Amino acid sequence: MIQHPNQKTIKKEASFAGIGLHTGNSSSLKFIPAPVNTGVIFIRKDLPGKPNIPATIDHVVGVVRGTTLGINGAQIHTVEHICSALLGLGIDNLLIEVDANEPPVADGSAKPFVEVLLSSGLLEQDQPKKILELIEPVIYKANETEIRIEPARNFSIHCQLIFNHPLIGKQEKFFQIDTETYIREIAPARTFCFDYEVEALKRKGLARGGSLDNAVVVGLDRIYNKEKKLRFEDEFVRHKILDFMGDFFLLGKTVLGKIDAIKVGHGHNINFVKELTKVGELAHGK
**Active site (catalytic) residues:** 266
Distance between CA atoms of residues 186 and 255, nearest Å: 19
Distance between CA atoms of residues 7 and 254, nearest Å: 10
- Among residues 46, 194, 187, the alpha carbon closest in space to that of 110 is found at 187
- Among residues 91, 80, 71, 70, the alpha carbon closest in space to that of 21 is found at 80
Q: Rounded to whole angstroms, what are the CA distances from 48 to 55, 72, 95, 98?
A: 20, 12, 18, 13
- Contact yes or no for 55/249 (Cβ under 8 A): yes
- Among residues 240, 260, 234, 261, the alpha carbon closest in space to that of 80 is found at 240
Q: Rounded to whole angstroms, what are the CA distances from 222 to 31, 107, 195, 230?
A: 37, 19, 10, 11
Q: Give the type of residue at 239.
A: H
Return the H-helix or E-strand segment holding 84: helix 80-89
Dihedral pair phi/psi, residue 5, rounded to 5°: -70, 170
- Contact yes or no for 86/79 (Cβ under 8 A): no
Q: Which strands make up the sheet holding 68-71, listed edge to edge?
A: 60-62, 68-71, 74-76
What SS3 state is found at 67? coil
**Beta-carbon count within 10 A of 49 CB:** 8
